[in-house]
Amino acid sequence: MKELKIACMTIGVCQTNCYFAYREGSDEVMVFDPADRGADIYRAITSKGFKIAAILLTHAHFDHIWGAQELRARSGAKLYAYEAEQPLCESAQLNVSEQAGRACTIKPNRYLKDGEIITVGDLSCEVIATPGHTAGGCCYYFKEDRKLISGDTLFLESVGRTDLPTGSMSTLVRSIQDRLWVLPDDVKVYPGHGDTTTIGFEKENNPFL
């Protein structure tokens, strides 16, 4: 199998990482967390000769979804989120977009289940439910490639905030310890903000865990 590449665009007022994943030699990409300016994301990706085949949300806070509707409309790709995130997707108050001054809701084409495998072309990743930052927060794991899109669950030497609607620190810590620490230490982690890290490094160095 050809190498999985993950590229990043850092976008918006919260400097959110929008990732797109593809296999070397393929023109199909999965986009994760279109943070804002969906038209710009679309142009940046398609100008490289890629086709957007799926859009996946790690959670539905405003700074991860503001560009989702426009990107979906331009690309024709389906949009996915973990099923427990439906309340935030569909409430501008819960996803904090109303308070941020630009109310936004999003209705995914389909809600996903924990453990579900999403396959598009030669790309496959697993949904890992990691509630805590939000009730429906999740990560996406490319098992064979040992790469994890972690959203705002796990950061370099930090974790996601839990003081917003549906957040819970005790739930977040439990999610990371039960669902992410079981992954191999060399899994590379691509967080929603900041730099990449690895599971092994965070086990040894994350002061919140």
Contacts 24+ apart (CB under 8 A), 176-184: 176/130, 176/132, 176/209, 177/209, 179/128, 179/129, 179/130, 179/139, 180/128, 180/130, 180/139, 180/148, 180/150, 180/153, 180/154, 183/141, 183/146, 183/148, 184/146
Query: Tens of pLDDT along the chain (209 residues)?
Result: 799 999 999 999 999 999 999 999 999 999 999 999 999 999 999 999 999 999 999 999 999 999 999 999 999 999 999 999 999 999 999 999 999 999 999 999 999 999 999 999 999 999 999 999 999 999 999 999 999 999 999 999 999 999 999 999 999 999 999 999 999 999 999 999 999 999 999 999 999 99
State the residue range of the domain holding 135: 4-205
Residue with tokens 């929008």: 18
CATH number at residue 182: 3.60.15.10
Number of domains in the chain: 1
Q: How far apart are CA 86 and CA 106, in angstroms?
A: 9
